Amino acid sequence: MTALGMVFRPQVPPERLRDVAVAADEAGLEQLWLWEDCFFESGIASAAAALAWTRRVRVGVGLLPVPLRNVALATMEAATLYRLFPGRVALAVGHGVQDWMQQVGARAESPLTLLREHLTAMRALLRGERVTTQGRYVRLDDVALDWPPPTPPALLAGATGPRTLRLTGECADGTVLTADTGPDALRRARELIEEGRKAAGRDGDHEIVVYLHAATGPDAAARLRAEFDRGTCPTPFGAAGDAAAIAEAVVRLAEAGADTVVLQPTADEPDPVGFARFTAEQVRPLVP
């Protein structure tokens, strides 16, 4: 069965997160995703609060920009969440937006190398291993977590370009794709991920999470068009309208290989709480 979720957009003030998280939880929504976009809201702090306010919903952060985060600190924070809220946490790491990384003096000359090193070290630490490594960017000297998760969790990575997609297949346990990923692009992404998995001799599950532009309400089409106009993708994919229209787009992504589809409301969504209930109560029953 395809899992369904929604994004709490960081353009919404953080003090509104509690109402959205509680509404999602009470309505039975499976997943609530958060972003750590510069310079809005912390992904880890927001996730911890949302998890504490709720009982069932899985909370994801997609994604944590690795140039901003020392791998030891990122893993300590991740392990704490995994232990406090077992089975309810999904974390993804990624390159981050390079212009933002430049603004804070953290832009890496080789984002791909940094992501590979970060993923490799973070997954080892989460497995409870003691790590010594002297990479180009990640350097650890006899580091091990005192409180690793009892069961090694799946660590996801965000990707867009072919090289990064292959890297997620090699080094991550799942891949998060942007809302500009339509069904055809998703099929191609899966091929590239599988190439990476095959090259690394990986087997087992590899979750594919895809965001989906979505808008509902009387002005849904206009808001979605404006969202597309602000983007950079020449062929954006999304859905505007009632639950049936949005569910149809979700099903198309599921048929193309998405394990989880996360509805991404427009940045100016007027009612995030209502959107959470709409997703759980009206869209979910229409998605196999």
- What's the confidence (pLDDT) of residue 233? 78
Positions of the chain with pLDDT under 70: none
- What's the confidence (pLDDT) of residue 140? 98
What's the number of domains the chain is made of? 1
Alpha-carbon distances of 276 from 89, 137, 173, 264, rounded to whole Å: 18, 39, 27, 11
Q: How far is 91 from 157, CA to CA, in rounded Å?
A: 8
Q: Taking the CB of residue 226, how many other CB atoms lie within 10 A of it?
A: 14
Q: Taking the CB of residue 13, how many other CB atoms lie within 10 A of it?
A: 9
24 closest CA partner among 51, 64, 63 = 51
11 closest CA partner among 47, 46, 37, 43 = 37
- What's the confidence (pLDDT) of residue 99? 96
3-state DSSP assignment of residue 166: helix
Strand bridging mode 207-215 / 260-264: parallel
- What's the confidence (pLDDT) of residue 16? 98
How buried is residue 21: exposed, middle or buried, by Cβ count under 10 Å (0-12/13-18/19+)?
buried
CATH of residue 59's domain is 3.20.20.30
Q: What is the pLDDT of residues 20-40, one digit of tens each?
A: 999 999 999 999 999 999 999
- What's the confidence (pLDDT) of residue 283? 98
Q: Residue 130 half-sphere exposure, CB side, CA atoms within 13 Å?
A: 3
Determine the residue type at 103. Answer: Q
Q: Which domain holds residue 42?
A: 3-286
